[in-house]
Chain A
Amino acid sequence: MNPDPAAARRDRVLFLLAAACVVLQFPGSVPLAALSLGTWVLALARLDRKALQRMGRPRFWAVTLLLALATGIVLGPRDLTVLGVPLSRQGLSAGLLMVIRGALIFGIASFAGPALAGRRMSRGLARSGMTSLGGAATVALGLLPELKNRLAGPGREAPLGPRGLRDRVARIHDLAVRAFCETIRVAEELGNASGRASGPRIVVVVGDPGQGKTGLVQDIARRCREAGLPVAGVVQPAVTEEGIRVGYDLLDVATGDRRPFARSAASVAPGSPRYTFESSGWDWAADRIRRGRQEAEVVVVDELGRLEASGGGHLRALRDEVDGDRAGWWVLAVRRDGLAAITQWLGPPEDRIDLAGGVDAAARAADRIVARVRREIPGSGKEEWFR
């Protein structure tokens, strides 16, 4: 679940090299420009073959070569004849520079586009201080399939029979109005979570991988249970072999049921997920979350991260269950890089424990939260529930 450090290192090297190659273009000399292009192509061949493949777009090369040829014919004095066509040496030289420069910029864009794309970009926004914007972008990425389904949903089918231009225009207009209404509705649903004044109260335990979120959430669950409060939900304890983390299990905190969930992928290509998930595990966890919502006062859910930030993973179950009128406490372990988006999906937390403040500060915050939950939920006499 960590970003691939090798891929991140590779991207840094390529970005630095791209900057150097662009600088080499400034003098406008053909040998220097050719050197920079050659260096870039070699670097891509060694470090990012997919980007190199993306450079092979026939349309780009056709347009570039046509422009270069046109430059040789149109610009400068015609002092050269090739196959009976009068050409300009000056124009051809300028055209050659255009081809090299175009190829280099296109090659850099072929690498930089995907390297910056999607979730990386929204994370970058969040890291550069634009947390809400990064969160909104991540939420939007998660909304894409949902919005697509809604816009293609019932009532959008075209009526049968021949239609004239006027009918077609009217239909497109009607579709646009419906798309607008549906989008407003989606925005309202998100806004309802953000602006929720009462109902479920969310406590987030924020930290990076390995900082102890799962342990703290389990500790809070145990202490709430000892105080006589019904506690339910799922945590994801790490599975280690010879001291190395090889995956995660799912653990039902109410019953103690445990099942395998995620295991290290056999081979990890750069940019691909480090773990393979057992798909039925999501349903199992969703069922535990739903039951917890119905039966318990405190529901814990562990390991909410990038997947949930983009609308997947445990978030589907959480969106269904958190957004209800039954007041209750939700203790959610959230990875730092997913916090902004998850907050936008589920609404602002009532309280938060940040593990960056150290173990002692986290323990004190946990004391405060347990005391508050005990104070605000009249939970005495319910000890039998979880046994």
Chain B
Amino acid sequence: MSSGPSGTRPVSGRDRTLGFWPCAAAFGALWGLSETTVGAFLHALHLPFTGVLMASVGAGLLVAQRQAMPRRGLSLATGIVAAVCKSMSPGGVILGPMAGILAESVLVEMALLPAPRWLVTALLAGALSALWAAFQKILTHYLLYGGTVLELYLSLLRQAGRMAGIPDSAGWPLLGGLLLCIGAVGALGGGLGRRIGREGLALLAAGMDGRAR
């Protein structure tokens, strides 16, 4: 039933008839819209872990999309489209968020590759996406300031640990715990995305999505 991404032949997904590029365009626009509105608002508030939250939302959106159309490459195409939409965001510094969107879409694509509709892959996709958002901050600083900044961070962490009376051996478990929390937030996003996608498709199939048909 499926055709390659270049084709325009309709593909069935949960009784919905969708095309690959229309689906990428529509969901890319939705992701871009959420990044330029909610994301920009949260960033403006300077709240911590905004990137992690938005990455979880993005992963959830991609997972929901794949419930309707489990085609390979769709998450990646959607990510590229969303990155282009994000580039229309007001303010000059857009390369970082765009790179983040692209990287998250690559990770979600890889996670969903074996089974796009499974809960396990949905959770993995969300977790990877959120962890990337946390890692991207460090990577951005490395690209901006060079390797010295990593030395600085490690040195500051060691000194802060000593001042707080935390032994050096407890550093890695603490870091692991923090990463676990971030991964859990992302996994929650992925899981919710799967649920939202399934509920939405059921509503559409029943004609109960609140719109006259």
Tell me which residues across on chain A come within 8 A of B93, comparing CB atoms: 54, 57, 106, 109-110, 113
Please determine whether A191 and B17 come into contact, CB atoms closer than 8 angstroms.
Answer: yes
Mark each residue of chain B from 178 to 213: 1 if its CB lies under 8 Å from any CB of chain A, else 0.
Answer: 000000000000001000110111011000011100
Given known pairs A140-B28, A147-B26, the reply for A132 and B5 (CB within 8 Å) is yes
Is A201 interfacial (CB 8 A cutoff)?
no
Tell me which residues across on chain A come within 8 A of B210, comparing CB atoms: 155, 178, 181
Q: Give the dominant DSSP class at A's interface.
A: helix
| A177 in complex: contacting residue of B29, B95, B199, CB < 8 Å | B199
Is A170 interfacial (CB 8 A cutoff)?
no
Tell me which residues across on chain B come within 8 A of A132, comparing CB atoms: 5-6, 21
Is A43 interfacial (CB 8 A cutoff)?
no
Please determine whether A98 and B145 come into contact, CB atoms closer than 8 angstroms.
Answer: yes
| B95 in complex: contacting residue of A109, A173, A186, A344, CB < 8 Å | A109
A28 to B19 alpha-carbon distance, docked (Å): 51
A187 to B77 alpha-carbon distance, docked (Å): 14
Please determine whether A114 and B94 come into contact, CB atoms closer than 8 angstroms.
Answer: yes
Please determine whether A344 and B145 come into contact, CB atoms closer than 8 angstroms.
Answer: no
Mark each residue of chain A from 91 to 124: 1 if its CB lies under 8 Å from any CB of chain B, else 0.
Answer: 0001101100110011001101110111001100
Tell me which residues across on chain B come within 8 A of A143, comparing CB atoms: 25-26, 29
A97 to B93 alpha-carbon distance, docked (Å): 22
A187 to B37 alpha-carbon distance, docked (Å): 21
Please determine whether A195 and B9 come into contact, CB atoms closer than 8 angstroms.
Answer: yes
Is A71 interfacial (CB 8 A cutoff)?
yes
Please determine whether B155 and A75 come into contact, CB atoms closer than 8 angstroms.
Answer: yes
Please determine whether A144 and B27 come into contact, CB atoms closer than 8 angstroms.
Answer: no
Please determine whether B144 and A184 come into contact, CB atoms closer than 8 angstroms.
Answer: no
Please determine whether B25 and A190 come into contact, CB atoms closer than 8 angstroms.
Answer: yes
Q: Which of B84-92, B104-112, B115-123, B167-175 lines the interface with chain A?
A: B84-92
Please determine whether B26 and A141 come into contact, CB atoms closer than 8 angstroms.
Answer: no
Please determine whether B17 and A195 come into contact, CB atoms closer than 8 angstroms.
Answer: yes
Please determine whether A348 and B77 come into contact, CB atoms closer than 8 angstroms.
Answer: no
Most chain B Cβ neighbours within 10 Å, of A141, A177, A179 = A177
Is A188 interfacial (CB 8 A cutoff)?
yes
Chain A residues 316-345 with CB under 8 Å of chain B are 344
Tell me which residues across on chain A come within 8 A of B92, comparing CB atoms: 50-51, 54, 109-110, 113-114
Please determine whether A75 and B151 come into contact, CB atoms closer than 8 angstroms.
Answer: yes
Is A206 interfacial (CB 8 A cutoff)?
no
Please determine whether A136 and B211 come into contact, CB atoms closer than 8 angstroms.
Answer: no
Is B2 interfacial (CB 8 A cutoff)?
no
Please determine whether A137 and B81 come into contact, CB atoms closer than 8 angstroms.
Answer: yes
Please determine whether A106 and B144 come into contact, CB atoms closer than 8 angstroms.
Answer: yes
Please determine whether A177 and B85 come into contact, CB atoms closer than 8 angstroms.
Answer: no
Given known pairs A113-B87, A184-B204, A187-B26, the reply for A70 and B152 (CB within 8 Å) is yes
| A98 in complex: contacting residue of B77, B148, B197, CB < 8 Å | B148
Please determine whether A71 and B152 come into contact, CB atoms closer than 8 angstroms.
Answer: yes
Is B80 interfacial (CB 8 A cutoff)?
yes
Q: Give the dominant DSSP class at B's interface.
A: helix
Tell me which residues across on chain B come within 8 A of A140, comparing CB atoms: 24-26, 28-29, 32, 81-82, 84-85
Tell me which residues across on chain B come within 8 A of A183, comparing CB atoms: 26-27, 29-30
Is B177 interfacial (CB 8 A cutoff)?
no
Mark each residue of chain B from 117 to 161: 1 if its CB lies under 8 Å from any CB of chain A, else 0.
Answer: 000000000000000000000000001111011011001100100
Is A291 interfacial (CB 8 A cutoff)?
no
Shortest distance from the beta carbon of B192 to any chain A beta carbon, whole Å: 8
Tell me which residues across on chain A come within 8 A of B30, comparing CB atoms: 147, 179, 183
Tell me which residues across on chain B come within 8 A of A74, comparing CB atoms: 152, 155-156, 159
Shortest distance from the beta carbon of A213 to any chain B beta carbon, whole Å: 24
A173 to B96 alpha-carbon distance, docked (Å): 29
Please determine whether A194 and B149 come into contact, CB atoms closer than 8 angstroms.
Answer: no
| B156 in complex: contacting residue of A70, A101, A144, A344, CB < 8 Å | A70
Is A176 interfacial (CB 8 A cutoff)?
yes
Given known pairs A74-B159, A177-B200, the reply for A136 and B21 (CB within 8 Å) is yes
Is A17 interfacial (CB 8 A cutoff)?
no
Tell me which residues across on chain A come within 8 A of B23, comparing CB atoms: 187, 191
Is B68 interfacial (CB 8 A cutoff)?
yes
A185 to B93 alpha-carbon distance, docked (Å): 33
Shortest distance from the beta carbon of A199 to any chain B beta carbon, whole Å: 15
B residues adjacent to A (C-beta < 8 A): 5-6, 8-10, 16-19, 21-30, 32-33, 36, 60, 64, 68, 77, 80-85, 87-88, 91-96, 98, 143-146, 148-149, 151-152, 155-156, 159, 192, 196-197, 199-201, 203-204, 209-211
Extra inter-chain contacts (11) besides given A181-B209, A189-B22, CB under 8 Å: A28-B146, A98-B146, A105-B144, A136-B22, A137-B85, A141-B88, A180-B200, A186-B26, A187-B23, A190-B19, A348-B8
Q: List 23 A-B contacts (CB under 8 A).
A: A70-B156, A75-B148, A97-B146, A97-B148, A102-B145, A105-B144, A109-B92, A113-B92, A113-B95, A117-B94, A121-B87, A125-B84, A137-B28, A140-B82, A143-B25, A147-B26, A176-B196, A181-B203, A183-B26, A184-B68, A185-B209, A187-B19, A344-B21
